[in-house]
A and B are shown apart, each in its own frame.
Chain A
């Protein structure tokens, strides 16, 4: 195994060579978006389902080639289990795949998930043959219930969507990762490369981000930074870090000093 070799990420029976998943929202320029996604090295990209604007319709597939990226449709903006199921079905009818990033929002201010409705929608969608990747908060019990419902991945937040606050509760993220068998992808809250690295160092399987790239001054450069940060964090986790100590321990010999 070469020094930079990172094992592939297996979700729902599909292999991905990047542990970074990126969103396609909030970009002011679609050319920059495509360039940023390429620079990030992501294979899986998220898209949203919305009404066609009949006055000037430009869907994202006019700029994003679905043969180049694996499309993961989301249920962003849904506030009930029923709505999320409806959006998921519409997304599947687009004909690309049966995967869905399930999110049911419970609060407009924080965009925190309605975990009960998320579990309810997950059960329905899994029953209909969807491969569900479920956005949730950093609560272990909800994560366990989502796994139990048959989700192919559970996606706890690092911090609120679009906040860029980084991982606010590494302990719970680690706990969720240790207790679940399905891949744990941290979704939302990562702001910059160090956040991505610290998140990956918790041992999670991957990260999904959008705003950190789209709202950077230079999205393409930030995408490149995130690509390395995710890899560095994964490599550091696999390497096994030294224990943190609140004392100094010299790393040069204490013997042999001049008299």
Chain B
């Protein structure tokens, strides 16, 4: 087990491996990056940047997707 960093993930404090990119994080969570939108510190992250952006200590990440809904 390598170093971990603490981030806020969908409103919950979480410890994740240090050195992960956003894509790496989604993979460890078992999420398909094509279906998830990531908001990092209140800023939407373009999907094309998932490979280059690293997850940092203290990041506030929101992972959202489409669910059933009408009004």
Q: CB-CB < 8 A to A94: which residues of B?
A: 35, 37, 65-66
Q: CB-CB < 8 A to B62: which residues of A?
A: 51, 90
Q: CB-CB < 8 A to B65: which residues of A?
A: 49-50, 52, 57, 59-61, 94
Q: CB-CB < 8 A to B70: which residues of A?
A: 22-26, 46, 74, 76, 161, 208-211, 214
B1 lies within 8 A of chain A by Cβ: no
Q: Is the interface of A mostly helix, strand, loop or mixed?
A: mixed
Given contacts A90-B44, A93-B37, A93-B46, contact A50 B64 (CB under 8 A): yes
A237 lies within 8 A of chain B by Cβ: no
Contacts between chains A and B (CB distance < 8 A), count: 110
Given contacts A54-B29, A57-B31, A61-B35, contact A49 B71 (CB under 8 A): no
CB distance from A171 to the nearest CB of B (A): 23
Question: Considering only CB atoms and an 8 Å cut-off, how many residues of chain B contact the other chain?
Answer: 23
Question: Considering only CB atoms and an 8 Å cut-off, how many residues of chain A contact the other chain?
Answer: 44
B53 lies within 8 A of chain A by Cβ: no
B63 lies within 8 A of chain A by Cβ: yes
30 A-B pairs within 8 Å (CB atoms) are namely: A22-B70, A26-B68, A27-B68, A33-B68, A46-B71, A47-B66, A47-B67, A48-B68, A48-B69, A49-B37, A49-B66, A51-B10, A52-B64, A52-B65, A54-B29, A60-B66, A60-B67, A73-B66, A76-B69, A90-B44, A93-B37, A94-B35, A94-B66, A111-B71, A161-B71, A162-B71, A188-B71, A208-B71, A210-B70, A210-B71
